[in-house]
Each structure stands twice: as C-alpha cells, then as structure tokens.
C-alpha cells in the first residue's frame, strides 16, 4: 500500500478501515483483495454484523486482507457511485476499485474469514509435502487432487470444478504420489478432507465426470447430522436435497434422538439431509415449517416444492416412530402438511386463494389467473387493495380470467416469494411459466397487462373509462 493510502485509511474499532471518497480508489487499487461493508449507523443488521466484522478483520489482517467500512450517511457520494441500495451491502474487490462482486457468505466472523481466505487463494493451490498438512487443516472442508501436472485431462476437469466452487471450498493439488500412499488413497484420486464424520471421503467415480465430482464434493461437505443456523441454512436450502429438521430444546433429547437418527442418516445419505435446530434459539421457525412450538419435533422440508412433511406431533418421538415416519416419507406414502386458512364458503370479485385450494384455483384451472401474493402487514399491499378490488370487479363477468390473492404468510404456496406484493399471471395454457407483473400499480396498467398477456379466448372486448382512473 502506498504511503498516502496508508495514512488516509483510518483504523476503526480494532482492524477495520474507513476511507473517504477521495481515498477509496487508491486504497482498493493498492490491495489485491479487500472486503468493503457499506452501512448506515441506524441499521439494525449493520449493528449485529459489527462485532463479527471486527473479529474477522483482526484475523484477516495476518493474511493482508483488509476489511473496510463505508458509512453511507457520511460518504453518500461514494455509496451512490457504488450503487448501494440497502444496508449492509458487502462487496469483494480484487485490486480494482471499478470492479467488485457481491459477498456471498454468511454474516459471521468465521464465515467471513473462511470466504475471504478462499478468495485470496488461487482456484487450485499446488502443494508440496511440507505444505500438505497445514493446507488440509486450513478449513472445515478441503478438497485435494492427487495426480500429476502432465495428466492434462484430469487437471482441466479439476481446475474447472475448482473455479466454479471456489467460493465454497478450498482446493489443492498434489503431484507427489508418496503423499497419496501416506494418506492411504489411490493415485490418481480426488479426496475431500473434513473436520467431522469420517474425516476423509474418497471419490470412487469417473474422474472425467465433472458433474459427478462436483456433486460428490457438495454432498461430502455436509455433516451426516449437521446444525441449522444462520450460517448453514442457505447451504441446505440451495442443495436441492430435502432436509429433515430435528427441533430439539433439551440435551438429553439431543443425545437420544441423534443416536436413533444416525443409522438412517447414513442409509439415506444423498437423499435426505439431517440437521439439528436449537429450538431454544430458533423455535419460532417451527411455524414456518408447519409445526407447533412443541419439542422435540421432526419435519422434512422439500426445498424444491417447499412442501413440509411433519412427524405427527400427537405421537411421542421414539426410535420406532422416527423409523416409521422416515420410511413413510421415503416411500412417498407420507402426505405433506399444508398450512392453510379455511376455504371461504363464498367468493367475491377478488378470489380468495388459500393453501388448500391453491392448486385447484391457480395451477389446475383452465383460466388465466392473476395472483397477488401479499402480507397483512405490508403497507404497499394495503395501498394496492382498493385498486385490486376494482380490478376484480372489472373482470368479474369474464369467464376466462380469475383475479385472486393469497396471504403468503398464512398459506403454503409452491414457490418462494421475494417480497410483497408480488403479482403473477398464470396463463391458461402455460401454468409452469407465470409472468410477473412489474408495472405501475394502477387499474389501467393492470388491465392492460392482463389483456396483453392473456392466452384465453375473451368472450367480449372490454372498454374502460379513463376518467374514472
């Protein structure tokens, strides 16, 4: 770092730097790798992150990876330049103030340290025998390839996988065949070293099959019985594999239930993940997966369909009941538990959709269905309500169109909704590809959207009096 940039950067709260607009470019350009947090002092999430960020800054200082904070209430021009729209926003810079990528890790000290350490490494680190042990111990999950540099096909496949997954895992390569022998693995081979379960997992498939290798690495990176928390949830949710939550609030239950579950977890590896959720800390999540806050409890969530399969909470959680429950889930006999408000006895111009009638009304209907996904507390939803009611009345006599709405906080729906209100049109002849409405929230624009996108045959052409809008 140049003397000017070093003097300009002010150390705040241990080893976190602050820089101004005038200093920013030079500071970033002088550091091959840096993490920058754009924050506001009043932001609750920023306050929660602050101590974790400081711990990470101190740890990463030894690796010459600076962590920076930009107060957007002070450096508003810099934050505008970086197109900051929410707080905290974290960006990774690699020696170029004009280029950055979003930080994609969890907001904890350990996660930040691990993520930024990976960013500072090449996609694949070439290792000597002297470096091997320290490298393998550098992270919770480390991937090692044992084959020579001359094996161009294997190296090409491995390097491509490492580049794709480098944000999640540390990759190394060892040419020395004697190290493979010391580790008790074949040469050539790909090995996942981990600080849990069996410690070492050796890939036994086709070394040219990049998809199978990537899947093996991702699968082996997850503990047999893990833990669901803020740092791990996204890994489970993005895996595509159903997750069996073990909601437990008692130490004795933890020992008993994990003992019962372990053999099934081994048997179902790759088909179902198992993870403990501390019900004392995260018991409120039970309602999100259709459980009562009565523990211990088990539920499997299929993230692809968002369906939840509950172990009947009227039953005692025993080894026998767990076995029967998992057998029923795996066989496909277990019905999902649907969170739903009651189906209304009568319907108005705006059709009330609930969990129990969602498929019939939206997905199985031969009509074009416009659905507003809303939350009762959402201010924008409340503002839209009278307009949406008018929209329902406008199409009330149209046999080819349904105007509906669903409280997405009180009913299970088969897709994830990022914010409220979200409005989508499910066409009569293409229910799998709904069209999201992104226009103005007024009656005229909504009518135009439906009429332009509708694939059903309209019986009568409608007109609208613009003076009434």
Active site residues: 43, 46, 378, 381
Where helices occur in 238-366 by DSSP H, the ranges are: 251-267, 279-282, 319-331, 358
Q: How many alpha carbons lie under 13 Å from residue 394 in its C-beta half-sphere?
A: 24
- Among candidates 156, 161, 69, 57, which has minimal Cα distance to 116? 57
* 213 contacts 190 by C-beta, under 8 angstroms: yes
Exposure letters 408-445 (e unless 16+ CB within 10 A, then b): bbebbbeeeeeebbbbbbbbbeeeeebbebeeeeebee
C-beta of residue 302 within 8 angstroms of C-beta of residue 273: no
- In contact, 213 and 205? CB cutoff 8 Å: yes
Q: What residues form DSSP beta bridges with 369? A: 402, 426
The rounded distance, in Å, linking the Cα atoms of 297 and 249 is 10
CA distance 206 to 208: 5
Residue 171, beta-bridge partner list: 143
């Amino acid at each position: 770092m140049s003397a000017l940039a070093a003097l300009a950067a002010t150390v705040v709260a241990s080893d976190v730097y602050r820089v101004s607009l005038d200093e920013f470019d030079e500071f970033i350009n002088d550091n091959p790798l840096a993490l920058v947090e754009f924050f506001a002092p009043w932001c609750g999430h920023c306050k929660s992150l602050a101590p974790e960020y400081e711990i990470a800054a101190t740890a990463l200082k030894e690796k010459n990876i600076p962590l920076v904070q930009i107060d957007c209430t002070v450096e508003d021009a810099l934050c505008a330049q970086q197109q900051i729209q929410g707080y905290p926003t974290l960006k990774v810079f690699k020696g170029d103030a004009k280029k950055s990528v979003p930080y994609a890790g969890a907001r904890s000290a350990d996660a930040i340290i691990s993520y930024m350490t990976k960013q500072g490494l090449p996609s694949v680190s070439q290792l000597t025998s002297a470096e091997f042990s320290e490298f393998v111990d550098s992270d919770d999950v480390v991937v090692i390839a044992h084959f020579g540099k001359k094996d161009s096909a294997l190296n090409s496949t491995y390097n491509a996988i490492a580049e794709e997954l480098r944000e999640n895992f540390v990759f190394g390569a060892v040419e020395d065949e004697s190290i493979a022998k010391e580790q008790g693995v074949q040469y050539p081979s790909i090995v996942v070293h981990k600080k849990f379960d069996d410690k070492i997992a050796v890939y036994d498939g086709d070394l040219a099959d990049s998809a199978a290798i990537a899947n093996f690495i991702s699968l082996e990176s997850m503990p047999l019985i893990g833990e669901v928390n803020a740092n791990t949830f996204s890994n489970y949710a993005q895996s595509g594999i159903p997750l069996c939550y073990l909601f437990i609030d008692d130490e004795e239950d933890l020992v008993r239930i994990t003992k019962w579950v372990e053999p099934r977890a081994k048997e179902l590896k790759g088909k179902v993940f198992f993870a403990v959720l501390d019900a004392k800390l995260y018991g409120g999540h039970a309602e999100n997966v259709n459980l009562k806050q009565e523990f211990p409890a088990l539920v499997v969530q299929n993230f692809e369909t968002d369906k939840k399969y509950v172990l009947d909470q009227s039953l005692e959680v025993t080894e026998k009941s767990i076995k029967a429950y998992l057998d029923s889930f795996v066989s496909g006999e277990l019905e999902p538990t649907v969170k739903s408000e009651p189906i209304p006895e009568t319907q108005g111009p705006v059709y009330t959709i609930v969990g129990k009638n969602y498929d019939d009304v939206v997905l199985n209907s031969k009509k074009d269905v416009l659905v507003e996904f809303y939350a009762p507390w959402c201010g924008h939803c409340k503002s839209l309500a009278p307009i949406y009611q008018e929209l329902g009345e406008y199409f009330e006599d149209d046999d080819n169109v349904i105007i509906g709405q669903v409280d997405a906080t009180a009913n299970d729906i088969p897709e994830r909704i990022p914010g409220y209100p979200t409005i989508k049109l499910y066409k009569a002849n293409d229910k799998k590809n709904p069209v999201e409405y992104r226009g103005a929230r007024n009656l005229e624009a909504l009518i135009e959207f439906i009429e332009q996108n509708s694939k059903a045959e309209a019986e009568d052409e409608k007109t609208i009096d613009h003076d009434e809008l």
